[in-house]
């Protein structure tokens, strides 16, 4: 039973724009989705949990099938999925669920088209004795732990002084493992935090 982390997948039938904007090397959203599903199912077993730290789906107003088809990709994943909402899920909440996080959560947990184990606004996890805060946007929350985030795709880089970007664009579309996170934390403590040139 292992944990895995990712963000910014932007699944959905009308989500081609994310492939173009982020230079994702796929001819269309179907090829991208099939590749992501294959990678996730190869990396994570049915006993594992994948934390998706926001923007699992795309949501554009007036394209309701976009977010619904995006959320439905969860049915193709063998592992458990815990979704931390991102700005696209929040947009779906505002437009299609009367601004109610609880209504959106109930949809994700109970609609037959979806397979999520939980949906949260943010969360904490313990990785090998280190606490991490999971939230979509890269925010220094001034707590006693590092943050795992997404939102900025490749443009914000892999790390900030307060945590790590686990978006799909930064790991060759693969999931980040606990070992990956701890490796980055070790490098951050040993080198990155000491390098004044990259911290100024």
pLDDT (tens digit, 9 = 90+) per residue, 113-136?
A: 999 999 999 999 999 999 999 999
- Chain centroid, CA 193 distance in Å: 25
- Phi, psi at residue 194, to the nearest 5°? -90, -15
Task: Report the alpha-carbon distance of residue 200 to residue 195 in Å, rounded.
Answer: 9
Task: Report the alpha-carbon distance of residue 140 to residue 160 in Å, rounded.
Answer: 9
Residue with tokens 């904007």: 21
Q: Using alpha carbons only, what angle is made at residue 24 by residues 187 and 11, rounded to the nearest 5 degrees? A: 95
pLDDT (tens digit, 9 = 90+) per residue, 30-41?
A: 999 999 999 999
Average pLDDT in the chain: 89
Q: Which of 40, 44, 51 is nearest to 126 (CA)?
A: 51
Query: In the structure encoding, which two tokens stand for residue 142, read together?
Result: 């001034």
Would you say residue 192 has pLDDT above 70? no
pTM: 0.91
- Domains identified in the chain and CATH numbers: 3-199 (3.60.21.10)
């Amino acid at each position: 039973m292992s944990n895995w982390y990712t963000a910014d997948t932007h699944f959905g039938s009308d989500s081609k724009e994310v492939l173009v904007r982020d230079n994702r090397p796929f001819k269309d959203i179907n090829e991208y989705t099939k590749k992501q599903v294959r990678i996730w199912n190869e990396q994570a077993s049915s006993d594992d949990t994948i934390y998706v730290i926001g923007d699992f789906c795309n949501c554009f107003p007036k394209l309701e099938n976009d977010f619904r088809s995006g959320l439905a990709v969860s049915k193709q994943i063998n592992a458990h999925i815990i979704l931390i909402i991102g700005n696209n899920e929040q947009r779906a909440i505002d437009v299609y669920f009367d601004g109610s996080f609880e209504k959106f959560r109930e949809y994700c947990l109970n609609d037959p088209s979806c397979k999520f184990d939980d949906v949260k606004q943010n969360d904490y996890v313990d990785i090998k004795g280190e606490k991490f805060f999971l939230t979509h946007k890269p925010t220094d929350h001034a707590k006693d732990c590092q943050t795992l985030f997404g939102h900025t795709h490749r443009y914000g880089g892999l790390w900030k002084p307060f945590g790590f970007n686990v978006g799909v664009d930064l790991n060759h579309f693969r999931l980040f493992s606990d070992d990956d996170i701890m490796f980055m934390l070790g490098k951050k403590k040993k080198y990155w935090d000491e390098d004044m040139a990259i911290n100024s």
